Amino acid sequence: MTAQAAPVTRTISALPSSSPPYRSRRRPSLYRTLSKTLIILIVIVQVYPLAWLFITSLRTEHDFATGDPFALPAALTLDNYARAFQTGNLGLNILNSFIVTMGANVLIVILGMMAAYAIQVLGFRLSHLVRGLFLIGIIVPVQIALVPLFIDYSTVNLLDTYQSMIIPLAGFSLPMSVYLFSSFFEYIPRETYEAASLDGAGPYRIFGLITLPLSVNTVVTVVLVNSIFIWNDFIFANTFVLSEELKTIPLGLQNYIGAMGKVDWTATFAAVCVTITPLLLVFLVLNKAMIQGLESGATKG
């Protein structure tokens, strides 16, 4: 969890000193100083709740119930973490989230690449229609699928399985993946394909030997962008999964709300801290790639 606190303290200490006005070549304008102050303020508002979440998870229960919420904790304790692990199945929840995220990502990457290959590289008469179909999935809200899928799942016995979460999560993420892959495939020069064709390579060999190996970067982008949404999915899991053994992180966290609405808040916050760590770590390590992916997701999609 230090990974979460570290960047927070770093901004506060590093930002004001990072570009002292007297060192800059141009005269520091009032506008620049003002906007710098504003940015720092806004970033604090944006990040403070998360820092507070972490600090609270280290407070004693008594301190939390009585103290000033902004004050630093009187004493630090890890009891909350111990209770958090006792109350729930955090390890299992994380494992389940991992399985669902992996499963959905495999589908999104492979199928997205295949669809983009068919639309962009092979080409066919109705390709515009297919592109348009995929646009629907970006516009319509995911809730539309809840009732029909619930009914369909109960007829084919898929309720309460990993697949029940993976299928809609992959389905609704597929359009973005198709668009990202097709916009990348546009950049692969036609001549590459034509040369390969002249050498006798068919569409399958070209896919395996040219398109696939060139797409590694786009695969990373697609996986990073979609993982945020899939890892944090609440609505599909909440609708289709009932048994404890299959609960993903968002559902597992709900267990911390006690039977009579009595909540052990400090333990809950500890559990929240544990569950947000995996994705947060990935994000902090890969944030350049992720940010670049999110930007291209919007501009190309």
Partner 1 sequence: MLPTRSRLSVLVFLLPPLLLYGAAVLFPILQSLFLSFFSWNGISDMEFIGLANYLRMFTGDDVFWRSFFNALGYLAICLILQLGGALFVASLLTSLRRGAELIKTLYLLPAVISTVAIAFLFVRIYSIDPVGLLNQLLHWIGLGDLERAWLSDVNTVLAAVSAPEGWRFTGLYMLIIYAALLAVPKELEEAAILDGASRWQLFTKIRFPFIRPVWITTVIMATTYGLRGFDIPYLMTNGGPGQSSELLTTYMYKTAFTSTDFGYASTISVFIVIECLVAVGLILVMLKRKADA
Instruction: Give how far Cα 36 sits from Cα of 18, 40, 51, Å.
Output: 11, 6, 21
Map residues 249-278 to x or -, x wherever contact with partner 1 holds by CB under 8 A: xxx-xx-x--------x--xx--x--xx--
If the CB atoms of residues 30 and 75 are measured against partner 1, the closer one turns out to be 30
Binding residue for partner 1, selected from 55, 84, 90, 174, defined by CB under 8 A: 174
Q: If binding is defined by CB under 8 A, does position 73 make contact with partner 1? A: no
**Residue type present at position 295:** E
CB of 245 to partner 1, least distance (A): 19
Three-class secondary structure of residue 195 per DSSP: helix
What residues from 131 to 170 belong to the interface with partner 1 (CB under 8 A)? 133-134, 136-152, 167-168, 170
263, β-bridge pairs: 257
Compare residues 77 and 229 and give the one whose CB is closer to partner 1.
Answer: 229
Residue 121 touching partner 1 (CB under 8 A) = yes
Q: Tell me the C-alpha to C-alpha distance, in Å, between residue 158 and each of 92, 152, 226, 249.
A: 21, 8, 23, 20
Binding of partner 1 at residue 98 (CB under 8 A)?
no
**Burial of 227 (C-beta count, 10 Å sphere; 0-12/13-18/19+):** buried
The reply to whether 289 sits near partner 1 by the rule CB under 8 A is: no
Closest CA to 117 of 202, 200, 220, 225: 202
| 8-state DSSP, 71 | S
Binds partner 1 by CB under 8 A, chosen from 161, 183, 283, 289: 283
Q: Is 285 among the residues that bind partner 1 (CB under 8 A)? A: no
Q: Are 240 and 150 in contact (CB under 8 A)?
A: yes
What backbone torsions phi and psi does residue 70 show, to the nearest 5 degrees?
Answer: -85, -20
Cβ proximity to partner 1, 36 vs 98, nearer residue: 36
State the nearest-atom distance from the C-beta of 206 to partner 1, in Å: 7
Q: Which is nearer to partner 1, 36 or 162 (CB)?
A: 36
